[in-house]
Amino acid sequence: MQNLLPTVKDAIALDQSDTLSRFREKFIIPQHDGSNALYFTGNSLGLQPKKASEFLQVELEDWATHGVEGHIKARNPWLHYHELFSEGLASIAGAKPSEVVAMNGLTVNLHLLLVSFYRPKGKRTKILCEAKAFPSDRYALLSQIKFHGLDPAENLIEIAPREGEQTLRLEDILSAIEDAGNELATVMIGGVNYYTGQLHNLKEITDAAHKVGAMCGFDLAHGIGNVPFKLHDWEVDFACWCSYKYLNSGPGAVGGLFIHSKHHNVDLPRFEGWWGHDKSSRFEMGPEYKSMGTAESWQLSNAPVLNMAVHKASLEVFEEAGGMDILRERSVRLTCFLEKTVHAVSEITGVNLEILTPSNPDERGCQLSIVAHGYGRELFDAISAKGVVVDWREPAVIRMAPVPLYNSFEDIARFGIILKDALQSKA
């Protein structure tokens, strides 16, 4: 048979020869019937770093010891806590430390960014996004258009895949930007589509938007910590993300944003609060706002330290692993191994297992979105009962992500056996 199912023995050999396999031991794997679950949902919620409780306990102890004086006397003084993330986030995002800040949640940050980067005026009133964007993104875009007194039906351009196709072609995105021309105010696309796992070409999209005079930004919820970016070099105007997926920082953890340095000291409209005020005079409590002159200027409130403690633990693992380029190399190998496994199961069982995600590694992160034609939710339930933790999206998509920090080739091989058995038992 052409596509032989990878064996567990061969997968273990691959893990043993991979120097990054040791990072799996830095995370807590959920259990199923006394063994490690096959956890493939880092695209929804990353696993807990083993040091998370230790990092959180440090802040709880300092709170107990110092009370309010922990803002200065804590081992990680709370007054400047958000600054602990600047270098790590900059490395992951391909940015300058002054261009990134950990704050708020993703959609809150998106709204704050659109205040500055969606400024409809005259004919230039339209926002361009992908059709079937993550719902929260679409709600934010619609409400921003309505906030300016405009009609979303006329001012939101949504690009859909061609008939019979599942993902967007780059040339269609670029063509839509060119067609919108001087009516386009802002491009805002999910850098990695949450449903299909498609990775877009951020640089070419940004260049096309700037060519017609529009601003360009991205929701990187499914991209940050998944694929390398060069947001500064690509001259992306703005971006935002969450940290509970590939950044493994816990449910509802703090979000983050990027604002290119070319926008830091110009007169942009912005919602302002005291934590964006120049820190050298912040506590003089003056009546006039004085900008920090960095991405921190978009901050409104002081850092949620307990929320951020786990974020700190996770980013230290990324740093120890050597950064995104090294993790990306392993991610490509793991995802190709998963793709091979799915194709093998399809050939063995005769079931059409369609992978919606592009087959070109340059056009995807580690997520694969799979449709088992002829099977519905019962297949998801069957593999879940065997300890496979994947993600279901209506009407019939199983999303799964072999995350390079903690998933293994053995995980994938064992998943292949479970998937094959589940399909054959229901044939």
Q: In the chain, where are the structural domains located? A: 8-36+323-425, 55-321
Judge whether 141 and 113 are in contact, CB under 8 Å: no
Looking at residue 137, its pLDDT comes to 97
Two tokens, residue 45: 């919620």
SS3 81: helix
What is the distance between the alpha carbons of residues 241 and 260, in angstroms, rounded to a whole number? 15
How many whole angstroms separate alpha carbon 141 and alpha carbon 127?
8
CA–CA distances in Å: residue 144 to residues 46, 106, 140, 184, 342: 30, 15, 6, 15, 41
User: What are the Cα distances from residue 217, in Å, to 176, 185, 241, 308?
Assistant: 16, 11, 11, 25
How far apart are alpha carbons 284 and 414 in whole angstroms?
61
What is d(CA 138, CA 130) in angstroms, rounded to the nearest whole number?
9
pTM (two decimals): 0.96
Structure tokens at 253: 């953890």
What's the pLDDT score for residue 143?
A: 98
Q: Are 297 and 276 in contact (CB under 8 A)?
A: yes
Retrieve residue 153's tokens: 């039906």
328, 227 in Cβ contact below 8 A? yes
What is the CATH topology of the domain spanning 8-36+323-425?
Aspartate Aminotransferase, domain 1 (3.90.1150)
Q: Is 25 helix (H, G, I), strand (E, B) or coil?
A: helix
Half-sphere exposure of 130 (CA within 13 A, CB side): 29
pLDDT at 380 (0 to 100): 96
Pick from 358, 354, 384, 357: nearest CA to 371: 354
Residues 155 and 124 sit within 8 Å (Cβ to Cβ): no
Give the whole-angstrom CA distance, residue 306 versus residue 57.
Answer: 9
According to CATH, the topology of domain 55-321 is: Aspartate Aminotransferase; domain 2 (3.40.640)
- How far is 349 from 343, CA to CA, in rounded Å? 10
Q: Which residues pair with 420 in a beta bridge?
A: none
d(CA 269, CA 403): 39
Q: Do 157 and 124 meet the contact criterion of CB atoms below 8 Å apart? A: no
Rounded to whole angstroms, the Cα distance separating 111 from 104 reads 11
Question: What is the predicted pLDDT for the residue at 399?
Answer: 97
Q: In residues, how long is the chain?
A: 427
* DSSP, res 407: -
Question: Do residues 226 and 365 touch, judged by C-beta distance below 8 A?
Answer: yes
Which residue intervals of 254-323 are DSSP H helices?
305-321
At position 369, the amino acid (one-letter code) is S
State residue 2's pLDDT score. Answer: 52
CA–CA separation, 211 and 215 (whole Å): 10
Distance in Å from the first CA to the final CA of the chain: 20
- List the chain residues with pLDDT less than 70: 1-3, 427
Number of Cβ within 10 Å of residue 171's Cβ equals 9
In this prediction, residue 339 carries a pLDDT of 98
249: its two tokens = 């920082």
Q: 199, 363 in Cβ contact below 8 A?
A: yes
pLDDT for position 4 = 86
Give yes or no on whether 8-36+323-425 and 55-321 have one common fold: no
pLDDT of residue 3: 62
H/E run at residue 156: strand 156-159
For residue 263, what are the contacts with CB-CB under 8 A and spacing of at least 6?
116, 237, 238
